Amino acid sequence: MEEAHFVELAEGVHTMISPRRLSNCTIVVTSEGVLTVDAPYTRQLAEAVIAYARRLSPRPIRWVVSSHHHGDHTLQLCVFSPPAQVIGHVRNREVLLDTGEYERQRFMRNYPEAGYDTVTITLPTLTYTDRLTLHLGDRAIHLWHPGPAHTEGDTVLFLPEQRVAVVADLLFNGIHPVARSGYIAGWIAALSALQAMDLETVVPGHGPIASRHELGVMRNYLLAVRDAVRPYVRGGAPLEQALGEIRLEPYAAWPDAERLGWAIERAYAELAADER
């Protein structure tokens, strides 16, 4: 049985750190009700989040901020919603509408234990484009879309008083990132913008709680991928050669090394488009 592990970040702000380095889920308690960022990847973990939230507040989970459309973060939204309302970037909704079934099939193959055969694809019903602020009781919760980065429709959540940012999959902490829907240049820029902010606690989409330092580590990883790919694009070498040859030695100890291929592919496509 996989155990949910919860960390308190500030008064009324807790994160479930997922087993197996899968998607984390943050809980924000307000006097109006509870808000979460994303849903965990299994129904059982989502129910553990509901049970944990119930101990923090008599009020139910009323809002879920969806950080992006990938299945590990969205397929169990149906455990929270209804009754909770799902809030997300406009492109998160549109992309999930197009790819929800693909995500379901993909994750069903990879995680047959997660119960994806019975989920209902659940879309954001409140969307925004650049920024959105939720005033819930005495909390102001800020949502920010950094532009296309980890995906087209990323959302970062800020609690400015607590200097907390839930950056979701803009940060994989000590793990190779999933870049299959990524925009490497935009992702690097988003991490730079976040690094310049007054933040104490940074909640990654995957891995343990971090700080601004780890934003720089992720940024350096993406810069290293792009630097490694550039000579192949400039020299007209095919993508397959880059995939076969590029090794990022400083990150050799990070798990999920097979994901490097996605980052190489995305960087190659972007750099090739720049050359044209």
- The tokens describing 94, both together, are 């549109």
Q: How far is the CB of 16 from Zn ion (least distance, A)?
A: 14
Tell me the per-residue interface mask from 147 to 186 with Zn ion, x by CB under 5 A, - otherwise: ----------------------x-----------------
Contact 267, 225 (CB under 8 A): yes
What gap in Å lies between CA 269 and CA 86, rounded to an integer? 33
What gap in Å lies between CA 129 and CA 193, rounded to an integer? 18
What gap in Å lies between CA 196 and CA 190, rounded to an integer? 10
DSSP run (H or E) holding 101: helix 90-110
Cβ-proximal residues to 59 (8 Å cutoff; 6+ apart), any chain: 29, 31, 32, 33, 34
Tell me the per-residue interface mask from 193 to 232 with Zn ion, x by CB under 5 A, - otherwise: ------------x---------------------------
Q: Toward Zn ion, which CB reaches closer, 72 or 270? A: 72
For the segment 19-38, give every residue that binds Zn ion (CB under 5 A): 23
Q: How far is the CB of 228 from Zn ion (least distance, A)?
A: 23
Q: How many residues bind Zn ion (CB under 5 A)?
A: 4
For the segment 59-78, give every residue that binds Zn ion (CB under 5 A): 72
Q: Toward Zn ion, which CB reaches closer, 18 or 81? A: 18
Which residues would be at the binding site for Zn ion (CB under 5 A)? 23, 72, 169, 205
